Amino acid sequence: MLVGPGLRAAVVLGLFGLLAGSFTNVVIYRVPEGLSVVSPPSACPHCQARVRPWDNVPLVSWALLGGRCRDCHAPIAVRYPLVEALVGAVVAGAGWRFGLSWTALAEAVMAVGLVALGFIDFDHMVLPRRVVYVDLALVALLVVVAAATSGRWGALGVAAVSGAVPWALFYLLNWLKPQALGFGDVRLALLIGFGLGWLGAAYAFLGFVLASLLGSVVGVTLILLGRAGRRTMVPFGSFLAAGAIASALVGSPVVNWYLSLVHLH
Ligand SMILES: [Zn+2]
């Protein structure tokens, strides 16, 4: 079924996703610098010329301008349109997977926050508190609305426990080995556990498993390539973000397979 409610929701949410992607770029570049995300308006980092509204259309403007500033012709990093496309795709994916629903919005908002946090952690090895908390507050609000409109209060309880358990485990790990796991990851575990837990505890579990696998594969690859040693710091938050987004959007076959095993035996 290619044309259906899933496709319609994917297109509608995907367009909002592109706009969210534009804002995600602002968050990624400004929050670590301690700058406001609302003012001043976007400007070229090279010549400081204000970005005109019609030059700020996600993906389209970058392509039309040939990846250069209209005023000084300095190149604009390809990462801007890539982040816009990534966020657009992730939000469209939430629409495809969950239709036009409160759950789709909750998972989309979680995923957008995670893309921002994943890039910030990759760039700066920090997970800014205000990004985690603002995203967590929005996700919690949307999940509560989803629970209220569907009457699935039990699932809300599962989400709360799915957030609290990894938070407590990460808290303990951070207390035992703060150099191995920063406190930013502790807060992030709460956001991811809760957001995925709304889909079911198995999704939260899968998200953390995928993050660990991804982190291990990348870490071992870097060591084999001689690009990293055992003590090299890795942005674990970036792996947590990627694992969580994958679990929410494409994790259902794995979760269903796992649950069928548990029920069969
Ligand atoms: Zn410029």
Distance CA 32, CA 27 (A): 8
Cβ contact 52:41 at 8 Å: no
Q: Would you give the distance in Å from CA 129 to the centre of its chain?
A: 15
Residue 5's pLDDT is 73
Work out the pLDDT band at 1, boundaries 50, 70, 90.
very low
- 53 C-alpha to center of ligand 1: Å? 15
Could you give the percent of the chain with pLDDT greater than 70?
Answer: 98
Nearest to residue 196, comparing CAs of 94, 89, 99? 94
Residue 264's pLDDT is 59
Could you give the percent of the chain with pLDDT greater than 90?
Answer: 85
Distance CA 69, CA 62 (A): 9
Structure confidence by residue, pLDDT tens digits, 214-226: 999 998 999 899 8
Lowest mean pLDDT among 20-29, 176-185, 235-244, 245-254: 176-185
User: Tokens in use for 97?
Assistant: 């997977």
- 76 C-alpha to center of ligand 1: Å? 9
Tell me, what DSSP letter sits at residue 50? B
Distance CA 26, CA 149 (A): 33
Nearest to residue 136, comparing CAs of 244, 250, 246, 32? 244
For the chain, give the mean pLDDT: 94
Q: Buried (b) or exposed (e) across 199-212, using 16+ Cβ within 10 A?
A: bbbbbbbbbbebbe
- 114 C-alpha to center of ligand 1: Å? 29
- 78 C-alpha to center of ligand 1: Å? 15
Residue 58's pLDDT is 94
User: In the predicted model, is pLDDT for residue 237 greater than 50?
Assistant: yes
Cβ contact 130:156 at 8 Å: no
Average pLDDT over residues 41-57: 92
Cβ contact 243:214 at 8 Å: yes
- 3 C-alpha to center of ligand 1: Å? 42
Distance CA 178, CA 238 (A): 18
- The most distant pair of C-alpha atoms in the chain lies apart, rounded to whole Å, by 66
- 145 C-alpha to center of ligand 1: Å? 44
Cβ contact 88:18 at 8 Å: yes
> 68 in helix, strand or coil?
strand
Domain boundaries, the chain: 1-99, 101-265
Q: What share of the chain is helix, strand, coil (3-state, %, to 5)?
A: 75, 0, 25
User: In the predicted model, is pLDDT for residue 210 greater than 80?
Assistant: yes
- 112 C-alpha to center of ligand 1: Å? 28
Structure confidence by residue, pLDDT tens digits, 170-191: 999 999 998 888 999 999 999 9
Neighbours of ion ligand 1 (CB under 5 A): 44, 46-47, 69, 71-72, 74
- 75 C-alpha to center of ligand 1: Å? 8
Nearest to residue 237, comparing CAs of 82, 124, 159? 124
- 35 C-alpha to center of ligand 1: Å? 20
> 75 in helix, strand or coil?
strand
